[in-house]
């Protein structure tokens, strides 16, 4: 049985930015609200929280150890350094799947810029971490626009997760930037449970409570 004060929880949150030049970048609308709400819910249970966060405009959760990062590669290296020591890993960050194949040292002028952008994939952080998973409970997130269950279960298996929290971005009041969400939890034993619609803060508490029971 785990003592709550001994549980170390690693959470990634927010977006990443992949720069084309010093002033332009590829990113997404993630605000970090869900990840920060999960951090606060974990702290209320007395867990030790390492929060690896992309660029957001949210106050630092009181009691968490915050590790600010910008790019997907920076997020990988920071999460990689913390993963072995954690008991629970919750990967809420909306990591950019692609980055420019080259980043120019100076701002590219519109008059001379190419209209074709060459991209390359970023590192799959979740898959890289779970390759060496031991006793950690790993939670992945899946933001989908179609085939929610099929895509979530495929990710659950492919990424060696214990739980996938999936949401449909096409639903009103769900997804990026919203204060509310509706999520479905898919577990490795084949079960699933839908939570919400509710405030992300309330959903975070429910998710953390379920993880606490898993680690009990």
Whether the pLDDT of residue 160 is over 90: the answer is: yes
Residue 91 per-residue DSSP state: E
Instruction: Please indicate whether residue 28 is annotated as part of the active site.
Output: yes
CA 62 to chain CA centroid, Å, is 20
pLDDT at 186 over 80: yes
Cα-based distances in Å from 130 to 134, 146, 177 = 8, 26, 28
The answer to whether the Cα torsion of 176, 209, 163, 53 is positive or negative is: positive
CATH number (domain holding residue 62): 3.40.50.10300
Q: Does a structural domain hold residue 113?
A: no
pLDDT classification of 129: cutoffs 50, 70, 90: very high
Please give the sequence-ordered ranges of beta strands (E in DSSP) within 54-191, or none if there are none.
65-68, 88-91, 98-100, 119-121, 137-144, 163-168, 180-187
User: Per the domain annotation, does 115 fall within a domain?
Assistant: no
Q: Give tens-digit pLDDT for 4-51.
A: 668 999 999 999 999 999 999 999 999 999 999 999 999 999 999 999
User: Is residue 188's pLDDT more than 90?
Assistant: no
Catalytic residue among 28, 151, 160, 167: 28
Q: How far apart are CA 19 and CA 137, in angstroms?
A: 33
> How buried is residue 92: exposed, middle or buried, by Cβ count under 10 Å (0-12/13-18/19+)?
buried
Cα 10 to Cα 82, 116, 123: the distances in Å are 7, 38, 18
| pLDDT at residue number 1 | 46
Domain containing residue 176? 4-98+120-215
Strand 88-91 vs strand 8-13: parallel, antiparallel, or unpaired?
parallel
Is position 144 within any domain? yes
Report residue 121 CA to chain centroid gap: 17
108 inside domain: no
Whether 59 maps to a domain, the answer reads: yes
Domain-embedded: residue 109: no
Question: In the prediction, which pLDDT does 172 show?
Answer: 83
Number of domains in the chain: 1
């Amino acid at each position: 049985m785990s003592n709550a004060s001994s549980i170390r929880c690693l959470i990634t949150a927010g977006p990443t930015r992949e720069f084309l030049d010093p002033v332009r970048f590829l990113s997404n609308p993630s605000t970090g609200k869900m990840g920060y709400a999960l951090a606060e819910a974990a702290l209320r249970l007395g867990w030790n929280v390492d929060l690896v966060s992309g660029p957001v405009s949210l106050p630092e959760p009181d009691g968490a150890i915050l590790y600010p990062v910008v790019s997907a590669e920076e997020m990988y290296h920071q999460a990689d350094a913390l993963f072995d020591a954690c008991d629970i890993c919750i990967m809420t960050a909306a990591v950019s799947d692609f980055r420019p194949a080259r980043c120019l040292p100076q701002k590219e002028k519109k008059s001379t810029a190419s209209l074709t952008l060459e991209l390359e994939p970023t590192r799959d952080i979740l898959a890289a971490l779970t390759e060496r998973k031991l006793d950690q409970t790993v939670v992945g997130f899946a933001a989908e626009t179609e085939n929610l269950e099929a895509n979530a279960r495929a990710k659950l298996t492919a990424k060696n997760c214990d739980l996938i929290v999936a949401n449909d971005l096409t639903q009103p009041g769900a997804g990026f930037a919203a204060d509310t969400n509706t999520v479905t939890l898919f577990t490795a034993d084949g079960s699933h449970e839908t939570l919400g619609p509710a405030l992300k803060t309330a959903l975070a508490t429910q998710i953390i409570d379920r993880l606490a029971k898993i680690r009990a």
